[in-house]
Amino acid sequence: MNYKDFNLEEKDIFKLFNQVSFEENESELNDLDCDEISQFQKEKIKKHLNKRIKGNFSLRLFKYCSTAVAVGLVCLIGIGTAYPAFAENVPILNSISQALNSQFGYQGNYAEYSQMINKSVTDNGITVTINEALADNSKLIIGYTIKSAKKINDLEVLGISRFLKINGKVVSGEGSGMGNYQDDNTYVGSEEFHTNLPQNSDRFNVDFDINDIKGIKGKWDFAFSVSKDELTKHSTVFNPEKVVDFPDSKVTIDKVVFSPIDTAILLSGNYTDKNRQLKDSIFDYNYWLAFDDEGVELIPKGIGGGSSNLTTQTFHSEMDYETMKNIPKYLTIVPCKIIPSAGGGVKMDADGKEAKQNVETEKPVEINKVIDGVYPIELPQGGFGKLIINEINTENDTTTINFTAEGKAPYFQATEFFLKDNTGEILIPKTYVKRKDKQNPNEFTIAFTALDPNKKYTVSTTALNNVELREDLKFKIELNN
């Protein structure tokens, strides 16, 4: 199917993929070849594009279509798109990063460690404000606001990190972001950029020389300094130097960092296949399910981003999870591979030339059950387990669904819950999947705008048959407290 043949809805979906920022001097690709995708897959893509998808700006990425955007494309570009309920929850004068992460279901003490910048530049009818920044040794997080006399579409994929300089130099790395329109003229966003920040000082200089906002030319320049001291001082770092053999590589766990805002596993590796060709992932089985020493699954924030070099046959990657209140004695990792439901497209080879790429695909089996008021409702998820809908309650303007995930990876399974209206459209939640509490880690809630009692709705999931779980590759990362 040619991009020009897509209807408007499909274009809106795939233009999000088309605006990925690549390495400097690398031209963006113009063609997108996709296999036919069912309506269910398109709706899943739209649903997951409303969540947070890990970015990967340093890789020579190819463009492809996938039903597993939330988990399989955890190395493309991070966005969170708009929905009206969000506006009332974003305090412009407080921490944008805190508000956004909370809205999308991620814990972390961003507000306490944010440094207020509050610098604004206006040009060509647009005011850009850098509200806040925070950093540690490997990441820089920026909270910002864009105001315009006229609405600017698609600011979710602006990517201000492409204008970033550290100590006067352009840096490479991987990024993710989330954001929302507070109203038609105001967009608030937070971007998290992962790179090797200067190690010889606690403070470094940041420059943003923004010259283009969705095709509107202008000059929005910012210069300020950021300190890493507070966040690094309150982080605990382990250097396991554990080596793990994978089918296509040898991976070394370099660091595990427990910080007030997240839990990060930093790794490096060498390809064991000297003839390795370009693939859609940095290394095979690069989506890691992680569990603490009590068997509770860590909530992922961004998995599998990083960079690779086929000339040296090396790569670097990072697995980011929600912050943890207590440091466990060890982490258990179960690697898996997310197989897209449709693929194909263009990729750049090591010489910068286009290389056609065929992608392994696997269409997940869809499971649907109409809500009839009789509970529990069970939704099987193949070899993973099942979801159990316990109750659905509507109060005021919100419908809350309480459900349990039973199986090998409960949180992972819970994120594959969908609610469809009587037309078959997947509904966007007001608040995304959240654990009920620490004592009940496999019980979850998700909330929607109040359902119409006169309409039929359907709860849905997939059999997860496009997820290859490699329990035979399971390993532990020992943490010597």
> What pLDDT was estimated at residue 481?
57
Q: How confident is the model at residue 358 (pLDDT cuts 50, 70, 90)?
A: low
Is 410 inside any structural domain?
Answer: yes
Find the mean pLDDT for residues 1-27: 34
Share of the chain above pLDDT 90, in %: 51
Q: How far apart are CA 113 and CA 159, in angstroms?
A: 23
Counting Cα atoms < 13 Å in the Cβ hemisphere of 343 gives: 21
Is 437 inside any structural domain?
Answer: yes
Find the mean pLDDT for residues 105-121: 86
Is 455 inside any structural domain?
Answer: yes
Q: How confident is the model at residue 309 (pLDDT cuts 50, 70, 90)?
A: confident
Quick one: which of 51, 71, 75, 48 has its CA closest to 61? Answer: 75
> What pLDDT was estimated at residue 79?
29
> What pLDDT was estimated at residue 131?
94
Q: Whole-number mean pLDDT of the chain? A: 78
CATH no. for residue 376? 2.60.40
pLDDT tens digits for range 439-461: 899 999 999 999 999 999 999 99
Domain that holds residue 457: 366-465
How many domains in the chain? 1
Is 402 inside any structural domain?
Answer: yes
> What pLDDT was estimated at residue 182?
87
Check whether 418 has a pLDDT greater than 70: yes
Check whether 203 has a pLDDT greater than 50: yes
Whether the Cβ atoms of residue 322 and residue 106 lie closer than 8 Å to each other: yes
Find the mean pLDDT for residues 395-413: 96
Is 384 inside any structural domain?
Answer: yes
Is 224 inside any structural domain?
Answer: no
pLDDT tens digits for range 143-175: 999 999 888 888 888 888 889 999 999 987 777
Is 451 inside any structural domain?
Answer: yes
Length of the chain: 481
Check whether 26 has a pLDDT greater than 50: no
Whether the Cβ atoms of residue 117 and residue 224 lie closer than 8 Å to each other: yes
Furthest-apart CA atoms within the chain: distance in Å:
64
Is 197 inside any structural domain?
Answer: no
Any long-range contacts for 235-241 (C-beta under 8 Å, 24+ apart)? Answer: 235/136, 235/259, 235/260, 236/327, 238/479, 238/480, 240/477, 240/478, 240/479
Cα–Cα–Cα angle for 168, 223, 120, nearest 5°?
A: 150
Find the mean pLDDT for residues 55-68: 28
Check whether 87 has a pLDDT greater than 80: no
pLDDT tens digits for range 225-282: 999 999 999 999 999 989 999 998 999 999 999 999 999 999 999 999 877 776 767 8
Q: Which amino acid is at 239?
A: N
Residues 6+ apart with CB under 8 A from 84: none
Worst-scoring range by mean pLDDT, 7-11, 55-59, 431-435? Answer: 55-59
> Following DSSP, what letter does each residue of 427-465 receive, concatenated?
PPPSEEEEEEETTEEEEEEEEEE---TTS--EEEEE--T
Worst-scoring range by mean pLDDT, 95-104, 209-218, 351-360? Answer: 351-360
Check whether 350 has a pLDDT greater than 80: no
Quick one: which of 332, 297, 324, 320 has its CA closest to 440? Answer: 297
Strand 139-148 to strand 186-194: parallel, antiparallel, or no bridges (unpaired)? antiparallel
Check whether 18 has a pLDDT greater than 60: no
> What pLDDT was estimated at residue 408?
97
Provide the whole-model pTM: 0.76
Find the mean pLDDT for residues 174-189: 86
Check whether 419 has a pLDDT greater than 80: yes
Check whether 318 has a pLDDT greater than 60: yes
